[in-house]
Chains A and B, each alone.
Chain A
């Protein structure tokens, strides 16, 4: 891929969470969303966080991005404690956060323009390169409202990449896209990541997406959340969608699912109706598999 050259190598990107706890509210109304969470995002690796809906994934991203300060514990990026938002950790949001009043080009140029350390002409050239990289050249003068969901996500990716963030934080970026677009976006992200040396922390609640993308998969517990298990995904790279049918893939998926199932069972026991669906579906899957095995 010739235009890979336009992405400069990035330095650093190692994120460490040390005993991070995040609580909201005070006194009686206090809830703990993240409880004593410790993990590491390795530099140059694709780390995926998976957890049940509502467990605190977005809160986790917000803490790492610096939008929220942890109640206790700390987030360390390349040895320095994170103390607020900054262009070294860029977020691609769950809902699109492209600025509706700016064209694709101006959205992508926004970071370098406000950081004021390069010439306008250079910024624009770089922005055009990245817009081409994400396949939106024809749409560089269109407004976000004129782009489809998938295009908006790619524009947002370009807006993040132009700043060469040390780590890219992605909070369920493909949620809400239709199944086919979602798969295409996954393949697209793999092509962008593989061989680029970038560090990505990706949040999802979709097991297939998680395994397809991850080098390391962190399974979160239900709220108050912490890392329940770490699974090393040793599928070879470059990855492609065919791997979803491989034997190793199925093993990894079973492993992850059974951990999620245990979580759902205890959530159900603790009174969460939302967890009931997963418990029931998993049990049916077990019984069907049991029959076919015989």
Chain B
């Protein structure tokens, strides 16, 4: 009785299943197709901009020239050294930001005294965009390298600090209550409850901070640097090698994307309890 009320013989169900699959398959192909179409259109408009005299677009070198420029850059030592140095600056600045930002954020969230003493300073400094720090940073730090790293540090620091404070001070009080009932000492409460409960917010802060770090490394290399991808981009512009500029832009995009992917993967690894169903 019950089965017939569902109104489907096995054969009929099978057809629906196939229809569903066919539909999904068609969708998938359509998505792929649309993606390919939009990319080719972009490349075509860009390529034909100059011969057709399309305004604005014709100011930019076409893809064919960019490919030539890429071959040129990708075989130069300066380009790969740029990658290496920019990555190094990102890594150092970003890691120092975590080493200072995470413990400080946790301390501020847990300890009222720490919060009250540090918060006013932070509230005054935080609204200043890291880029605005570049001149003073050049004056302050003995080497250009240090000023660039400092700017990268600032880019990642505020966001991870704020996320850590936010995460650690909004832990569901019932976790702390349960932990206290079960006999936790202050140490256990910190390492086994507060820290793991804050990790998701820290990871979010790190992912956003990584994006800002790349913006900062490019900006500060342009202004204060004499090496790195950002500097190479600016140098290419100054010698009017716009093809090279575009290759540098794409390179920085790829670098930022990969760094974020690494942070995301590390975050998933560190929070196994969140990705399971």
Interface residues of A (CB under 8 A from B): 65-67, 84-87, 89-91, 93, 95, 97, 99-102, 110-111, 114-115, 142-146, 159, 163
* Stretch touching chain A among B88-96, B184-192, B227-235: B184-192
Q: Is the interface of A mostly helix, strand, loop or mixed?
A: loop
List 10 A-B residue pairs with CB atoms under 8 Å apart, sorted by A's residue number: A67-B180, A85-B177, A86-B183, A93-B177, A99-B193, A101-B271, A110-B179, A114-B192, A145-B276, A163-B183
B143-182 CB contact bits vs A (8 Å, 1 = yes)? 0000000000000000000000000000010110111111
Q: Are A97 and B183 within 8 A (Cβ)?
A: no
B contact residues, total (Cβ < 8 Å): 24
Closest B residue by C-beta to A143: B273
Complex formed: what's the CA distance from A243 to B41 in Å? Answer: 75
User: CB of B197 within 8 A of chain A?
Assistant: yes
Question: What is the CA–CA distance of A144 and B179 in the complex, to the nearest angstrom?
Answer: 16
Please report the C-alpha to C-alpha distance between residue A86 and residue B181 in the assembled complex, in whole angstroms: 4
Using A85-B177, A101-B196, A101-B197 as known contacts, say yes or no to A114 and B272 having CB atoms under 8 A apart.
no
Contact of B178 among A84, A97, A146 (CB under 8 A): A97
B199 smallest CB distance to A (angstroms) = 8
Q: A90-B182, A114-B184, A114-B185 are in contact. Are A97 and B177 (CB under 8 A)?
A: yes
Q: Which residues of A contact B197 (CB under 8 A)?
A: 101
* Cross-chain contact B277 with A145 (CB below 8 angstroms): yes
- Cβ-defined contact, B277 with A90, below 8 A: no
CB distance from B196 to the nearest CB of A (A): 4
Rounded to whole angstroms, the CA-CA distance of A65 and B197 in the bound complex is 23
Q: How far is the CB of B3 from chain A (nearest CB, A)?
A: 23
Which residues on B sit within 8 Å (CB–CB) of A100? 273-274
Which chain B residues numbered 42 to 68 have a C-beta less than 8 Å away from chain A?
none
Question: Is the Cβ of B181 less than 8 Å from the Cβ of A90?
Answer: yes
B175 touches A85 (CB 8 A): no
Q: When the two chains form the complex, which single residue of A66, A114, A143 contacts B276, counting CB atoms closer than 8 Å?
A: A143
Inter-chain contact A114/B188, CB cutoff 8 Å = yes
B192 touches A85 (CB 8 A): no
Tell me which residues from 186 to 212 in chain B have a Cβ below 8 Å from any Cβ of chain A.
Answer: 188, 192-193, 196-197, 199
Across the interface, which residues of A come within 8 angstroms of B179, CB to CB?
A: 99, 110, 114
A83 to B66, CA, bound (A): 74
> Of all chain B residues, which has the CB nearest A117?
B183
Q: A85-B177, A145-B274 are in contact. List 8 more A-B contacts (CB 8 A).
A: A90-B182, A99-B178, A99-B192, A114-B185, A114-B188, A114-B192, A115-B183, A163-B182
Chain A residues within an 8 Å CB radius of B192: 99, 110, 114
- Cβ-closest chain A residue relative to B189: A114
- Secondary structure call for the B interface: helix
Tell me, in angstroms, the Cα distance from A93 to B277 when the chains sit together.
23
> Given A65-B177, A91-B177, A97-B174, A110 and B277 touching (CB < 8 A)?
no
From B182, B271, B273, B274, contact of A114 by CB (8 A): B182
CB-defined contacts of A102 to chain B, threshold 8 Å: 273
**Closest residue to A156 on the B side, CB-wise?**
B178
Q: Which residue of chain A has its CB nearest to the CB of B173? A: A67
Query: Known contacts being A100-B273, A101-B197, is A91 close to B183, with CB within 8 Å?
Result: no
Q: Please, which residue of chain B has its CB at the minimum distance from the CB of A93?
A: B174
Say whether B273 contacts A145, CB under 8 Å. Answer: yes
B273 A110 Cβ-Cβ under 8 A: no
B residues less than 8 Å from A89 (CB atoms): 181
Residues on A with beta carbons closer than 8 Å to the beta carbon of B196: 99, 101
Inter-chain contacts of A99 with B (CB < 8 A)? 175, 178-179, 192-193, 196
- State the Cβ distance, B151 to closest chain A Cβ, in Å: 35
A67 to chain B: closest residue by CB = B177
B273 contact from A84, A86, A101, Cβ within 8 A: A101
Chain B residue with Cβ nearest A95: B174
Residues of A within 8 A of B276 (CB): 142-143, 145-146
A163 to B178, CA, bound (A): 13
CA distance A260 to B273 in the complex (A): 43
Q: Which A-B residue pairs are the 5 nearest by beta carbons?
A: A111-B182, A101-B196, A97-B174, A143-B273, A97-B178
CA A65 – CA B199 in complex, angstroms? 29
Q: How far is the CB of A263 from chain B (nearest CB, A)?
A: 28
Q: Is the CB of B175 within 8 A of A97?
A: yes
Give A108 Cβ to nearest chain B Cβ, in Å.
Answer: 10
Q: Using Cβ atoms and an 8 Å threshold, which residues of chain A touch B193?
A: 99
Alpha-carbon distance A276/B51, docked complex (angstroms):
80
Measured between beta carbons, the chain B residues less than 8 angstroms from A93 are 174, 177-178
Q: Are B277's CB and A146's CB within 8 A?
A: yes
Chain B residues contacting A111 (CB-CB under 8 Å) are 182-183
Residues in chain B near residue A115, CB distance under 8 A: 182-183
Task: Select from chain A the residue with minimum beta-carbon distance to B177.
Answer: A67
Task: Return the chain B residue nearest A91 by Cβ.
Answer: B181
B181 surroundings in chain A (CB, below 8 A): 65-66, 85-87, 89-91
Residue of A nearest to B187 (CB): A114
Nearest chain B CB to A80 CB, angstrom units: 17
Residue of B nearest to A111 (CB): B182
Given A101-B196, A114-B192 in contact, is the A85-B174 Cβ separation under 8 Å?
no
Nearest residue (CB) in A for B271 is: A101
Asked if A85 and B180 make an inter-chain contact with CB atoms under 8 angstroms apart, the answer reads yes
Contact between B183 and A114, CB atoms less than 8 A apart: yes
